[in-house]
A = this chain, B = another copy of it.
Amino acid sequence: MTLRELAEAISAELVGEASEAEVLGVTGLETMAKGHVAYIADARSLAEGESGPALALLVPMEVAGSSKPLLRAADPRLAVARALTLLAPEPRLPAGVHPTALLGPNMEVGEGAAISAFCVIGEGTRIGRNVQLHPLVTIGKDVHIGDDTVIFPQVTLHDGVQLGARVVVKAGAAIGGRGFGYAYDGAGHVRVPHVGTVIIADDVDIGANVTIDRATFGATVIGQGTKIDNLVHVAHNVKIGRNCLLAGQVGISGSVTLGDGVMMAGQSGVADHVTLGDRAIAGARAAVMQDVPDGTVVYGTPARPKAEQFRIDAATRRLPELVRTVRELMKRVAALEKR
């Protein structure tokens, strides 16, 4: 692929010479190499990029000119995602069923699917076209996996779980286990059986060692295009909308509802039965204890609207000073009272 072809493919504007030079790959600043396009996320790093061996620089539009050929992009991050997808596609597993894999009766396996060594799959499960199952994956009965989905090693999908198309499940995730529900009978905690399931829509990513429990009744649902980072916990009966982003170690308690486009930053959490509206944002480590309206940004423990929390944080910083001021005021008022 030439520089000109790459620019067209990623909707970038090519500035400078060398438009017919062959592009060998895309790199970052740290790893620049001959023949590669280097991704410059920030215009302040331009000089660093120019001093390296890269063939050309992928830059934001604010960079006008350079000693190197430029690929100017309105959204350089999106452009680099597209360039890498073209030039460094993920390797695919070879199609076919490994002889050590164990397949239950009445299964359907779509054309082009790859089922790797030591996978164990239960009765009645349907696996779509071009699905890739890495080694050592356990899949229960009556599971449905949509086309082009990729399941990394050591994953467990329990009976009845449904995954859409183009889903990615990273290593060690456990999807569809029993929910954490108990009733107390006076002597101990009695398990509430969970007869529901988990439904994961198309284009969802599930991080490594994530846990998603099945519903008591009905289904725990993850909406289309939602991306979930590593070590996130999604409890039973949760409904997550479309195109949400849940960062590392987020915790979603039982029966929580997230609208579409919700973002939860790292280590944030939501208490049970709480709803976050469309496009709501929970900041890092926020503990959401009450419903959050559409489009509202919350921070803190307990989480509050951003402006309110920031005012509280600013006041908290000056709290020791405030204590001293009040002590001084008390003396001055006492002196006035004695006049």
| A178 in contact (CB, < 8 A) | yes
Q: In whole angstroms, what is the CA distance A77 to B209 when docked?
A: 30
Please name the residue on chain B nearest to A182 by beta carbon.
B227
Q: Which of A14-22, A106-114, A149-157 sits within the interface?
A: A149-157
Residues on B with C-beta less than 8 A from A316 are 312, 316, 319
Given A28-B218, A211-B230, A253-B248, does the pair A84, B154 have CB atoms closer than 8 Å? no
Given A138-B135, A227-B180, A322-B315, does the pair A208, B174 have CB atoms closer than 8 Å? yes
Residues on B with C-beta less than 8 A from A205 are 180, 191
Residues on B with C-beta less than 8 A from A195 are 25-26, 84, 88
Q: Determine how many copies of this chain the complex contains.
A: 3
Q: In whole angstroms, what is the CA distance A211 to B31 when docked?
A: 24
Q: In whole angstroms, what is the CA distance A245 to B171 when docked?
A: 24
| A193 in contact (CB, < 8 A) | yes
Sampled A-B contacts (7; CB under 8 Å): A30-B218, A80-B183, A85-B193, A138-B171, A171-B177, A271-B284, A316-B316
Residues of A within 8 A of B (CB): 25-28, 30-31, 39, 75, 77-78, 80-82, 84-85, 88-91, 100, 102, 116-118, 120, 134-136, 138, 152-156, 158-159, 168, 170-172, 174, 177-178, 180-185, 188-193, 195-196, 203, 205, 207-209, 211, 213, 216-218, 224-225, 227, 229-231, 233, 235, 243, 245, 247-249, 251, 253, 266-267, 269, 271, 284-285, 287, 289, 301-302, 304, 311-320, 322-323, 325-326, 329-330, 332-333, 336-337
